[in-house]
A and B are shown apart, each in its own frame.
Chain A
Amino acid sequence: MPLATEDREAAKTTTSEVPAKMRGARILLEALVREGVDTVFGYPGGAVLHIYDELARMGPRLRHVLARHEQGAIHMAEGYSKATGKVGVVLVTSGPGATNTVTGIANAYIDSTPLVIITGQVPRKMIGTDAFQEVDTVGITRPCTKYNYMVRTVEELAPIVQEAFYLARTGRPGPVLIDVPKDVTAETAAFPPPAEIRLPGYKPSLAAEPKQIEEALDKVLAAKRPVLYVGGGVIHSGASEELFELAEALHIPVTPTLMGLGCFPAGHPLSLGMLGMHGTYWANMAVSGSDLLLAVGVRFDDRVTGRLDTFATGAEIVHIDVDDSSLSKNVRAHCAIVADAKTALRQMLDALRLRPSPAAPSRRNLDEWWQQIAVWKAHAPLAYKASRDVIKPQQLCEELERLTGGTAIIATDVGQHQMWLAQYYGFRGPRQNLTSGGLGAMGYGFPAALGAQLAFPDRQVIAFVGDGGFQMTAQELATAVQYRTNTKIIIMNNNSLGMVRQWQEIFYDRNYSHVDMEWTPDFLKLAEAYGATGLRARYPSELSSVLERGLATPGVVVMDIIVEVEENVFPMVPPGGGIADMVLG
């Protein structure tokens, strides 16, 4: 599309001068910068040509990371967001560019990751004509975004960007998509000052009703067998400190969900480890035997609760979540509090301080409960049988924890490796564990790690993936090398789709159906082909040295760790079972 003279004038503008009037493309980018965006993950194409034309002029004000596939771009933005807490930004073209991001959008939606996705669209006049690279992006993404927009005029552009960021980062965070027709980015207009956001129907709750806090506290202090069940909401709201204070003050056991790993330090005496389908036996028993469940920033996911009619039947449930629709959705809460986790926990701490005899008496009252938990823990600790001939995946996770001190940022895919890491790697802090929890998207781990590494170039960032998942987004090795990152990729290579294989073994009478990766590339050569370093460990004797060398080698390193194929993840709640009915192995 030829540019009008006016557009050409606007296009000539350099970073040093911000003109009175500019193209929609530039307005979009200036609006991003105004929201504090420093990095955009993207992939160019026809409908976003004007935007990329302007992007080239933004210089260091806005970094663009060129992925090798739009799915890679969006998972990078998710990893960037999860590691930093900032809004991740994605820029892709119309049609396939947009559809390739859908997996990541759905992933971010269910895991409450704040993203703003900008998709190009065909010019307004061509919408609805089945034009080249036209797809109804707004329609496709409506059910998996917190909100989405089609920009209809260039004047709307800046206010929509502002509103989109506000929606993405407030309340229950989530992805917001902006579909921008190409001709809107070519029109010129003034870059407007920030507008007042007017969303009368959107009022995210922050503080809880004081009466409810008192009620919750009464229940917690009266409980003889309380458990804190905490999840991703604690991390999103930055409530780790408040959680820590409250757990210590009341001496209550804490069990995090998969999304909550790291929100309370693993290895702390009050931590029970993860609960749920592959949670620890003692965490599941404690939840099942509890008389009070203080659930914070969680949504009673089916992988956590197992069979609902047997879940924590003796417990009163106090549920704090910022999303009202999560309260009493799967499990009826006796005290349902719509509030931000950090604010509500701070309110509880303040209220606790005003009580006549804080902490000490409740601590004494819980001795019996802690003894019971110790019995459960002794009955079925996490364990595996080490071997001299073959590396056990659990051993790999433990070794990784030892070498990194539990402080690395680790992104995983979905499956056995994800569960073993959750069980055997003790995350010390929040925003270290990047995983695809709700959607369970293979191919997430490596690009997510890359996004986190680009946010924190000097931190130890590891993609811990299976050989199956890695092959879904392995092309991002090019991105990792191009941007000179130090991303480390550890492939837990069992040459099969392990979790599916495990289910076929246990529930389908070993009728293995298409879970054996009969042909897998040589990951060392693959690494070398992309300009990365490849290392391999086949035997337990090699494990430590390969990991040590790999983690210490600068640049992108692929560590191919050949592990036991037949190893299964235990303990396990069989499908349809209650969480107290665990198969221990």
Chain B
Amino acid sequence: MDELGVAPLESRRMVKESRYTLAFQDLLGGVNKASIWSVLGWQDIKQRYRRSMLGPFWLTISSTIMVAALGLLYATLLGQSIQEFIPHVAAGLLVWIFLSTMILEGCTVFISSEGIIKQIRLPLTVHVCRMVWRNVMIFLHNIVILLCVLYFVPQINILDLLTIPVAILFIALNGIWLGVVLGVFCTRFRDIHQIISNFVQILFFVTPIFWKPELLEDRGWIAIYNPAYHFIELVRSPLLGKGIPVFSWSVTMLLTTVGFMLAFVMLAHYRHRVAYWL
């Protein structure tokens, strides 16, 4: 065997490679094929905004309108100061959209690539990366809003702000395992997608986006046990000048590790079955 793992022809027998090796190759190889997923992901966005003058900047505009309208509405309803509330809503909502869209699109990630999967041998992770990349691009269009919102923040800590790009990358990384796990599950069991979309809807309301966790008082566990809250905090806390959330970073890192282990096991056992389930 040479370094490529290829035996010379004469002594070659059909060796079965371990399914774990194959799963690992799928994950790594998929992420490596950036030339494919970046082109396809960007194409998805271009396709969505074809023939519109502002193109993808509609993303920025609709998010701005949503943040402004809902921020004002809820600040009034809950009797909060607008200056304090708008940045809170902006950061919360934008990260939530990023995360929840990855969860929902993760469910259909293989189903919507059926044509490619049935014809061309590509690591499954490529299709997941395409979805994640598309959502990263959308989030980057919205980042202007976060910059504007800084205007309302009284104390800005530049060093803390620098962790935000890392946090965004980190959330995107989580999109990969979410897409693999949910994608495989939802391809096999078509009901799961419905269950997940209901679940995401509920999750939205129990996550402190339009309200502050301080409101919970002795029911603080609702936020503490909510992974979405911690992911949002990674971006929101440094943005609002509240420092780097060490606890949230620990929770989400743990979750990422467990998530990738789960994705790895799923790929090892079901990677080769996905094409058959489509």
Question: Do these two chains interact?
Answer: no
Q: Which residues of A does B touch, CB under 8 Å? A: none
Q: Which residues of B does A touch, CB under 8 Å? A: none
